[in-house]
Structure 1
Amino acid sequence: MSEIFGFDAYAPREIAQRVETVGVAKARLALLPLALLGVLAGAFIGLGALGFVIVKSDPGLGYAAGQWLGGLVFSLGLLLVVVAGAELFTGNNLLAMAWADGKISARELLRNWIVVCLANLMGAAGLALLVFLSGHPQLNGGAIAQTVFKIALAKQNLPWQEALFRGVLCNLLVCMAVWMAMAGRSVVDKAVAIVFPVSAFVAAGFEHSIANMYLMPLAWLLQQSGAVPPAPLITGAGMLGNWLPVIAGNLLGGSVLVALTYHLIYRRNPAHPEA
């Protein structure tokens, strides 16, 4: 352990070791706790998305202010995952580092990603149902329902190649947030590390697969209830058409651009300096 620039934080090489060690533990977690922690993470990210929608439903905010403030509020989701403890598919893309170092098998890696992604979907969609039943979307004169539908429809209409690359850029920032949070020793350290990268990806309009698993089912429920115009429609095929390329993009951004890059720097190159 070392101090960087006078702060009591883990150095980059130590972060790499911690990410790998945690990755091994995550890959070998028993199925039930893994799934339950995945459900929690999906709900946590959904809560962050709920906050983002509240901000975006305020017509008095300009575009830039709304995006950045919405991103700040959305950071709640990842902060809950990291501090309270949960298994998030996008953050778990960092397990690729442990796989590349031979500490976990490809089967263990894929088991974690598949179980956690499906559990995240259950948690995010389950929260969407609870939010719908609570009547929350009707607040602000129904503006929240309209905003959810507008956001979801834009995601459904996004060309697949744009969805893919927005997913890459999103998870580059999300995994950097998780990476930097691993440098901290306190909740405040972790919060500071998380807020800026997450706010940036939200403000830029990049695509987070798990957040979309909350927003799009909620929009579909609102559509079914007649709370939003009956056309154009949010469809099951439309949701999959967004989720699949975004998941692929998130995988590339997190596992390749962050995990495997740092693996090459710190785990395969022991002579590299600490910082």
Structure 2
Amino acid sequence: MPHNGTPATDAGNTPTIKTTPSILTPQVNINALTPAETEETVEKAGIGKTQLSGGKAFVSAMFAGAFIGFGALFFLIVTSDPAMTWGPKRFVGGLAFCMGLVLVLCCGAELFTGNSLMASDIAARKISWGALAKNWVIVWFGNLAGALLLVTLIAFAGTMGLNDGAVGDTAVATAASKITPDWITLFFRGILCNILVCLAVRIGFSARSVGDKVLGILLPIAGFVAMGFEHCVANMFFLPVGLVSKTLGFGAQAAGAEAVTVQGILYNLSAATLGNIVGGAIFVALAYWFVNARREPAKSDAK
């Protein structure tokens, strides 16, 4: 620029303006992960789960047991409204229960039913059977400990007495409805339950934001609850809180209340747990691994 402050000109007296290269802004992808990308994310998460120490895995599992318990308690409170008809009550109760898995996926916790997806790591030979079994055992008992801790807290809080004791009555009736069916029926309900739960967890893995996670899991989780399927971790809360409520004098008129015992709880959990493993590990984890896992291309013999 000349000393007089006028812009520099070329031979044709046309002003020349110097520009700096524009800075490229990063592109943000808001689309959900593809099924193949989700499979990679699921398998990576499974490897991470086996690397947790036993203590951290157990405490994280306690969080999940309590989180699912909060969702179950929300379900009991909502469905204790006698003015609601059966269908809307199941749907609204299912939506209320979703709070549990929202807390698990968004806050981070080890959930036994969701960890059924680790079976894909076995198929991909990324973890050992021993590591899988160790994680499942620690997480199952951690979920149980968290659920029982929550049951203890709400028993002292008098929560079962809400709505003139209707919540306690509903807790006993709900527990009885989960114990009185035959074992095979409970087993197949467990299969169906964890198909939907693990699909919801995969949706959570595919999401790119908290809002995506929450919205994506609502219908699968509300659906399994409304359909009456059996979730072993939810039952770690539903059944003990039903037994405690019965002990406190609630639910005396509930059909099948006499079946709500420690033996009845173990009867349900055995069927629901095995059914959940089959539903999550075989029908979701291994099936999606078969469809989406990357495989090394065959080496050519040509020289």
TM-score range, shorter-chain basis? over 0.9
Among residues 233, 238, 241, which one is paired with 1:210 in the alignment? Answer: 233
Aligned to 2:272: 246
Gaps of 5+ in 1: none
Worse-matched range after superposition: 235-244 or 219-228: 219-228
Matched residue count: 267
Pair 1:60 & 2:95 matched: no
The CA RMSD measured in Å over matched residues stands at 1.6
Deviation digits for residues 225-273 of structure 1, max 9, x if unmatched?
23342962421111111000100000000000000001111115579xx
What is the alpha-carbon distance in structure 1 between the residues aligned to residue 63 and residue 280 of structure 2?
A: 21
Between stretches 63-72 and 216-225, larger displacement belongs to: 216-225
Within 2, Cα distance between the matches of 1:232 and 1:224?
11
**C-alpha separation in 2, matches of 1:74 and 1:265:** 31
Is 1:106 equivalent to 2:129 in the alignment? yes
1:220 is matched with which residue: 230, 243, 257?
A: 243
> Given the alignment of the two structures, is residue 179 of structure 1 paired with residue 202 of structure 2, yes or no?
yes
Query: What residue ranges of structure 2 are gaps of 5+ in the alignment?
Result: 1-26, 298-303
Listed as ranges, the matches of 1:27-106 within 5 Å are: 27-106=50-129
Q: Offset at 1:223?
A: 2.0
Using the TM superposition, give the Cα deviation of residue 55 of structure 1 relative to its aligned residue in structure 2, in angstroms: 1.3
Residues 181-226 of structure 1 deviation map (CA, whole Å, 9 limit, x = unaligned)? 1111110010011111001101101111111110111111122223
1:119 corresponds in structure 2 to 142
TM-score (norm 2): 0.85
Task: Using the TM superposition, give the Cα deviation of residue 7 of structure 1 relative to its aligned residue in structure 2, in angstroms.
Answer: 4.8
Paired residues for 1:89-168 under 5 Å? 89-168=112-191
Name the CA shift for 1:26/1:232 in 2 (closer, same or farther; >3 Å).
Answer: same
8 Å contact kept, 2:151–2:240 = yes
Q: What code does the residue aligned with 1:78 have? A: L
1:152 counterpart letter in structure 2: A
How many angstroms apart in 2 are the aligned matches of 1:233 and 1:250? Answer: 23
How far apart, in 2, do the equivalents of 1:232 and 1:164 lie? 22
Instruction: Tell me the SS of whatever aligns to 1:182.
Output: helix
Contact 2:173/2:251 (<8 A) preserved: no
2:293, 2:259 → 1: CA distance? 48
State which structure, 1 or 2, has the greater radius of gyration over its C-alpha atoms. Answer: 2
Letter in 1 for 2:190: G
Distance in 1 (alpha carbons) for counterparts of 2:120 and 2:195: 14
Q: TM-score, normalised by structure 1?
A: 0.94
1:261 matched to 2:287? The reply is: yes
Query: Could you tell me the percent identity over the aligned residues?
Result: 40
Higher helix share: 1
Deviation at 1:132, TM superposition (A): 1.0
Distance 1:233 1:98 in 2: 39
Paired residues of 1:223 and 1:233 also in contact (CA < 8 A): no
Q: What is the rounded CA distance, in whole Å, between the counterparts of 2:268 and 2:64 in structure 1?
A: 20
CA distance in 2, matches of 1:240, 1:154: 14
Separation (CA, whole Å) in 2 of partners of 1:160 and 1:42: 23
Alignment check: 8 A CA contact 2:179 2:259 kept: no
Give the distance between the partners of 1:56 and 1:218, measured in 2 at CA. Answer: 15
- CA contact under 8 A between 1:158 and 1:242: conserved in structure 2? no
Looking at structure 2, the residues matched to 233 and 170 of structure 1 have their Cα atoms a distance apart, in angstroms, of: 23
